[in-house]
Amino acid sequence: MSAATLFESLAEELEERIHSGVLAAGDRLPSVRQACLARGISPSTVFQAYYLLEARGLVEARPRSGYYVRKPRRARGGPLAAAVQAPAATEVVISELIFDVLGSTRDAEVVPLGSAFAAAGLFPLAQLARCGARAMRQLPPAQLSAELTSGNTRLLQALRRRYGQHDIALAPQELVICNGAMEALGLCLQAVTRPGDVVALESPTFYAALQALERLHLRAVEVPTDPRLGVDPDALAELLARQKIAACWFMPNFQNPLGALMPPARKKALVALLAHHGVPLIEDDVYAELYHGIRRPRPAKAFDPAGGVLHCSSFSKCLAPGYRVGWAAAGRFAPQVQRLKMMSSLATAVPSQLALAEYLEQGGYERHLRGLRQALAASMARARALVLRHFPAGTRVSQPEGGYFLWLQLPAGVDTLALHREALEQGISTAPGQLFSADRRFRQALRLNAGHPDDARVEPAIAELGRMAAQIQRRARP
């Protein structure tokens, strides 16, 4: 067993004991010396495990004393509530509202709290442009048509190496490069469904998943999702026993909009449960690189020996927005996905692919990611503090361990679609909760983008938003 696996399995074991209550809040973890002796592992392995638990917010270090189990994290007003399950599959017709709301986030004059993207200034755009020009000039013309396949060879190799770092061995033809993760996810969805099928989504879910279902004439069923731990495995098991589900589309790492991070053991169980029922898992993993802790969380794909996970990700959130380069590692469905890709858009832009291949080969990616993670973690902490200070009492806010979204549950009486509209008049966009469900639940919820650390308009805008919410609440009182 490698050192990486050793410390991870120790962390996992302790995490399970904490969640099951064997280790309660305030309990001290075994000392590093005890743990080394008991398990025959090195102190650094123990430290790595404890750091990981700390990054996940489960334990805290007390100076000269050791590591202690923290109180369960909660926002002001108590933990976020998991959503109740939808009674039946819903035909998806959410697009109008989504386009209406998102259209507003494209205006540069509007403070982008409703945007899905972090600030473009966080990314090494000039360097990417240089890489792209260099690589395109060196590409022999005849190779251009050879590139019209599942992707540029150099980029495929770079991606394969990154999967290897997580001990994920891909099949030789498994990767298909797509026009962003959105195309990859859509093609995976199409590969495993037929019109009319039912697909299980998280609740709340990323609105683009709802749009993809709508586009492919699929029906949605929403599975209760814990704001911290992700999809509820019991609810999912019950659903699978009751109803024919063609596929699941989940985001186990830093779920959009909740920020939930599914613990490794839960991922493993999820994959096993779905394999048992023969249901493919489409895994949207675009935020995984944006962890605020010490290590990239493994995807569900890492626990999938049977090829039932269609893992999708992209560079749009972590390196190269606007380049539209994503990919699918689609397990045993890869041949179908590859054909659907060829049938729907033939191939992905070669200049974008080559710019990324050249950049990744240069070796600055890890340094860029470290800076980006720090910037986003700090920005999120500031935004969260502002929400707690300025929003009405009773507002609950998520505390994600990665990504750049905060999920707010506002007190009764605050309709967030109304808040969105009022805010937009003040030049502030938001993403109201109704966007994140096929049947427009989450009327009191709101997703805020905390990924614009250098935008001086953001902090006053959050304060202003809090005041507006309080006003709406006052107006709603009888």
Q: Which residues contribute to the site for a copy of itself (CB under 8 A)? A: 95, 99, 106, 108, 112, 115, 117, 119-121, 123, 125-126, 128-130, 132-133, 136-137, 139, 141-149, 178-180, 182-183, 186, 190, 194-195, 208, 211-212, 214-215, 217, 321-325, 339-340, 342-352, 355
Ramachandran quadrant class, 151 (left: phi over 0; alpha: psi -120 to 50; beta: rest): left
C-alpha 187, offset from chain centre:
19
Nearer to a copy of itself, 361 or 455 (CB): 455
Query: Which of 392, 445, 466 is closest to 227 using CA atoms?
Result: 445
Nearer to a copy of itself, 225 or 352 (CB): 352
Nearer to a copy of itself, 18 or 128 (CB): 128
C-alpha 3, offset from chain centre:
27
Distance in Å, CB of 476 to a copy of itself, minimum: 33
Cα distance between residue 108 and residue 110, in whole Å: 5
Which run of H or E residues covers position 281?
Answer: strand 281-284
Query: Which of 221, 252, 214 is closest to 238 using CA atoms?
Result: 221
- Beta carbons within 8 Å of 274's beta carbon, 6+ residues apart: 240, 248, 280, 281, 308
C-alpha 312, offset from chain centre:
11
Nearer to a copy of itself, 241 or 346 (CB): 346
Nearer to a copy of itself, 49 or 340 (CB): 340
SS3 466: helix
Nearer to a copy of itself, 345 or 426 (CB): 345
Give the pair of three-digit tokens for residue 259.
Answer: 């920020």
H runs (alpha helix) in 89-167: 95-103, 125-138, 141-146, 153-165
Give the pair of three-digit tokens for residue 159.
Answer: 């991606």
Distance in Å, CB of 439 to a copy of itself, minimum: 19
Distance in Å, CB of 92 to a copy of itself, minimum: 11
Nearer to a copy of itself, 40 or 140 (CB): 140
Distance in Å, CB of 96 to a copy of itself, minimum: 9
Nearer to a copy of itself, 194 or 467 (CB): 194
One-character DSSP codes across 341-368: HHHHHSS--HHHHHHHHHHHHHT-HHHH
Cα distance between residue 133 and residue 141, in whole Å: 14
Which run of H or E residues covers position 434?
Answer: none
Distance in Å, CB of 395 to a copy of itself, minimum: 28
Mark 338-358 as b/e (b = at least 16 C-beta within 10 Å): bebbeeeeebbbbebbbbbbb
Distance in Å, CB of 122 to a copy of itself, minimum: 8
Nearer to a copy of itself, 115 or 313 (CB): 115
Cα distance between residue 223 and residue 175, in whole Å: 29
Nearer to a copy of itself, 102 or 158 (CB): 102
Nearer to a copy of itself, 271 or 340 (CB): 340
Which run of H or E residues covers position 263?
Answer: none
Strands 66-69 and 59-62: antiparallel
CA distances from 211 to 134, 224, 249, 324 (A): 37, 20, 12, 18
Q: Where are the beta strands (DSSP E) in 204-276?
A: 219-226, 230-231, 247-250
Give the pair of three-digit tokens for residue 433.
Answer: 């909760």
Distance in Å, CB of 110 to a copy of itself, minimum: 11
Cα distance between residue 452 and residue 428, in whole Å: 13
